[in-house]
Chains A and B, each alone.
Chain A
Amino acid sequence: MPHHREVDTINRRSGIAFAFLTPNLLGFMVFTFLPVLAALGLSLYRWDLFHAPSFVGLRNFVELLGWYQEDGQIHANDPGFWKYLGNTLFLMMGIPVNMAAALFIALVLNQKIRGRVFFRTVFFLPTICTGVGVMLLWMWIYNPEFGLLNHLLSLVGVEGPSWLRSYAWAKPSIMIMGLWGAMGGTNMIIYLAGLQGIPPELYEAADIDGASSAAKFWYVTLPALTPTTFFIFITSVIGGFQGGFDAAYVMTRGGPDGATTTISYYIFEHAFQWFNMGYAATIAVVLFALVLLVTLVNWKFGGKRVQYV
């Protein structure tokens, strides 16, 4: 094509491109990009929305992350923050468990058995049904005196714990509910797709070498799934840092004694329960930095181990 016609096309396209882009870009700027900057700014103030804001510089950060010495011991300025960070990380430990379960189910479903679609649909039901309604159901199931779970346990002679009311069991209760909801869900489907994408030649080659089923799994299946695993892991981790609010609010109100308070619930408490807007923004900023850091680390180290088949 003649040169100047090409240039014309590109220039016209630039204008048109922005026409396409604008709705999304505008929304993105107003509701994502600018708020992030605003949150950074807000973290330097103390503001409760009822009185005027007052500038405090980095004092919020010091209060959140700093420490002081007393009686020769070091005390955190905000022990709650570290505890809730620990809660968040603890809950995230369910991620590998959920992933393994999803993979296992995908493996089983990948065989040539009848009724695959039926089972796949049934397993997806909990994922569809998660939400406030089902959390209320689980509150019921976990009730220490009249709930389904303790009743079933008593049938086999075991006295169940107080689940959501027990400090030790509150987080595992939420994790169990999470496992139920995620086992057969999107991750399982993704794994299933990944499994079906593995070229059969790899298995044939392994067969020729006389590999056992276990060896085939370890040396062919798993490595071939690394891109999928990597993707699922990163998205789960990013989601995990932000999660836990719904369950904390509906089921336990962050208790008992802060056992189920996650960082996002803590931010909510400070912002919309106690109206410490500046401090809440500070926690949010720290959370963001944390997510960025972890994702970068994941990318660097994980990316190296991903093998493309």
Chain B
Amino acid sequence: MHGVVVSTARPGRPAIAIACLLVVCGLITGCGRREASDGAVRLVMTTAGGVKERDIYNQAVSRFEAQHPNIHVRILPISKDYYRKVLVMIAGRDAPDLMWMGQSFGEFAGRGAFMDLSARIAEEVDLDDYFDQPVGWYNIDGKQLGIPFAIDTDFVVYNKALLDEAGVEYPTDDWTGQDLIRKAKALTLDRDRDGRTDQYGYRGNVDSSAFGAEIISADGKTPLCNSPEMIDYLQFTLDVVHKHRICPLPGDVEQEGLDTISLFRQGKAAMMRFYTWSLPELRDKCADLDWDIVMMPKFAQRAHWASSQAILVSSETPYPDEAWLLCKYFFSDEFQRIMAFRGLPPSRKVAEKIVAENDEAPENLAVLLKAADYLYPFPRVAHLQELMEHFWNAAESVDAQRATPQEALQRAEKAMWRTIERRQ
């Protein structure tokens, strides 16, 4: 096979292709970054939440930009794994200028992610009007790092038609855990008699604080989960499934991405635990249902799980003044009103007005106001994620009946100590 064609060596087509690709890549990566080429200030803000919240943020930002023409704001919606992603952004030297914050606030604060706004807040904001706790949640080591614009909490939603059918009285705000169990039992039915329960009395859990239990001390240095109160709590989560049989699966229903609203709408549960962020969807999808809300029942004490939302400023922003302007807008009364559709405004004045003006389901919106006195958020601790992981593992092993509450909590406590010691 002689006569092979020989051509002078030229860079082959693959090489050219790669070169072109890299050039294109370079161009693309050049765009969309934060170069202030036209003298304008560009701010990046990360947000969480669903589509409706995204629209709200976009509109708020448009209003803000209209008032401040030299500031451009770019919203970065992150729908899954928000906290982890933003932490990785900061670790990757790509921190946003402003960030939405919820219950994992402590993780970020403990890592120095936020700008100290104490001076600016002292000067420009009147805090007397706010509910006592929420503002304090954002105060770490004497530094006020921000102000929330909404408080999230939980409540029980009940289907009036199903309760009427079973002859059960509607729950009132002062009901107890015993009331819950009693009512739920009457509401758990096997309608088509096929041996499988079609309607459950209560789906969901309650917060461990209702039993007077705590998970970790406020400074994050002492695990408190191995207590008689916590054992009672875990026992309760077992009992609702196995003893009272009012709930099909242990643990929090929302875990597995089940469409909880659909479950409620289809009458598969007479009472369910929901959170404030579900209110819009409840109003929307259950419009044909007669439903209302009520406070969480009282066990050892009355407790509502709580978290709050705030927009905080990054400690690494190159534009502190502009960022503060934007941040200020986000806890103004106006914005609180806008966000009130899915949370409780932290300003008492605004909150009372919202409740007074409420003319759609749920009728008993005042629950949110009353819950403000019984709020129990997660502690604002830097390594919350890792510590909670141990606690959740324990709860899961109890749910699966692989360990008794005592054993599981002991294990969790030991694991928490190890994590804490590693921090020293």
Binding site for B on A (CB under 8 A): 48-51, 63, 75, 77-80, 139, 143-145, 162, 164-168, 255-258, 269, 272-276, 279
- Given known A-B contacts A49-B91, A50-B112, A274-B385, A256 and B400 have beta carbons under 8 A apart: yes
A50 touches B91 (CB 8 A): yes
Pick from B87, B383, B393, B422: contact of A258, CB below 8 A: B393
In the assembly, what is the distance between CA of A258 and CA of B415, in Å?
13
Q: Which residues of B contact A49 (CB under 8 A)?
A: 91
Q: Which chain A residue has the least Cβ–Cβ distance from B398?
A: A257
Contacts A162-B249, A167-B400 hold; do A50 and B393 have CB atoms under 8 A apart?
no
Q: Whole-angstrom distance between the alpha carbons of A147 and B112 in the complex?
A: 44
Q: Does B65 contact A (CB under 8 A)?
A: no
Q: What is the chain A residue whose CB lies nearest that of B383?
A: A274
Closest to B110 in A: A50
Task: Give 10 A-B contacts (CB < 8 Å), ordered by A residue.
Answer: A50-B112, A50-B113, A143-B256, A165-B249, A166-B400, A256-B399, A257-B394, A257-B396, A257-B397, A273-B386
Alpha-carbon separation in the docked complex, A48 to B113 (Å): 13
By a beta-carbon cutoff of 8 Å, the part of chain B in contact with chain A is 84, 87-88, 90-91, 111-113, 248-249, 256-258, 383, 385-386, 389, 392-394, 396-397, 399-400, 402, 414-415, 418, 422
Q: How far is the CA of A57 from the CA of B386 in the complex (A)?
A: 23
User: Which residue of A is nearest B408, CB measured?
Assistant: A257
CA distance A168 to B399 in the complex (A): 13
CA distance A3 to B322 in the complex (A): 77
Cα distance, A255 to B393, chains bound together (Å): 8
Q: How far is the CB of B353 from chain A (nearest CB, A)?
A: 40
- Chain A residue at minimal CB-CB distance from B90: A50
Which chain A residue has the least Cβ–Cβ distance from B394?
A257
The interface centre, meaning the residue of A48, A63, A256 with most chain B CB atoms within 10 A of its CB, is A256
Contacts of B385 in A (CB 8 A): 273-274
Q: Are A257's CB and B402's CB within 8 A?
A: yes
Minimal Cβ-Cβ distance residue in B for A166? B400
Residue of B87, B396, B418 touching A78 (CB-CB under 8 A) = B418
In the complex, which residues of chain B have a beta carbon less than 8 angstroms from the beta carbon of A257?
A: 393-394, 396-397, 400, 402
CA A144 – CA B258 in complex, angstroms? 11
How many angstroms from the CA of A76 to the CA of B371 in the assembled complex? Answer: 44
Cα distance A168–B396 in the bound complex, in angstroms: 12
Nearest chain A CB to B103's CB is how many angstroms away? 16
Question: A143 to B255, alpha carbons, bound, how many Å?
Answer: 12
Inside 8 A of A79's CB, which chain B residues have their CB?
415
Cβ-defined contact, B397 with A167, below 8 A: yes
User: CB-CB < 8 A to B257: which residues of A?
Assistant: 139
Query: Which residues from A are CB-within-8-Å of B399?
Result: 256
Residues of A within 8 A of B113 (CB): 50
Residue of B nearest to A170 (CB): B400
Chain B residue at minimum C-beta to C-beta distance from A154: B196
Measured CB to CB, the closest approach of chain B to A155, in angstroms, equals 13
Kindly report which residue of chain B lies nearest to residue A167, judged by CB atoms: B400
- CB pair A272–B88 under 8 Å, yes or no, is yes
B418 pairs with A165, CB closer than 8 A: no
Contacts A78-B418, A143-B256, A167-B402 known; 14 new A-B pairs at CB < 8 A: A48-B111, A49-B91, A50-B91, A50-B113, A63-B422, A167-B397, A256-B400, A257-B396, A257-B397, A257-B402, A258-B393, A269-B389, A273-B84, A273-B385
Complex Cα distance, B253 from A143, in Å, reads 12
Q: How far is the CA of A255 from the CA of B383 in the complex (A)?
A: 20
The complex places the Cα of A108 from the Cα of B100 at a distance, in Å, of 58
- In the bound complex, do residue A272 and residue B248 qualify as a contact, i.e. CB atoms below 8 Å apart? no
Q: Looking across the interface, which residue of chain A has its beta carbon closest to that of B399?
A: A256
Identify the closest chain B residue to A255 (Cβ): B396
Check A144 against B249 for contact (C-beta < 8 Å).
Answer: yes
With A78-B418, A165-B256 known to touch, is A256 a contact of B396 (CB < 8 Å)?
Answer: yes
What's the least CB distance linking B414 to chain A, in Å? Answer: 8
Are B87 and A275 in touch, CB under 8 angstroms? yes
Q: Which 5 A-B pairs have the closest CB atoms?
A: A257-B396, A49-B91, A50-B111, A167-B400, A256-B396
Q: Which residues of A contact B392 (CB under 8 A)?
A: 255
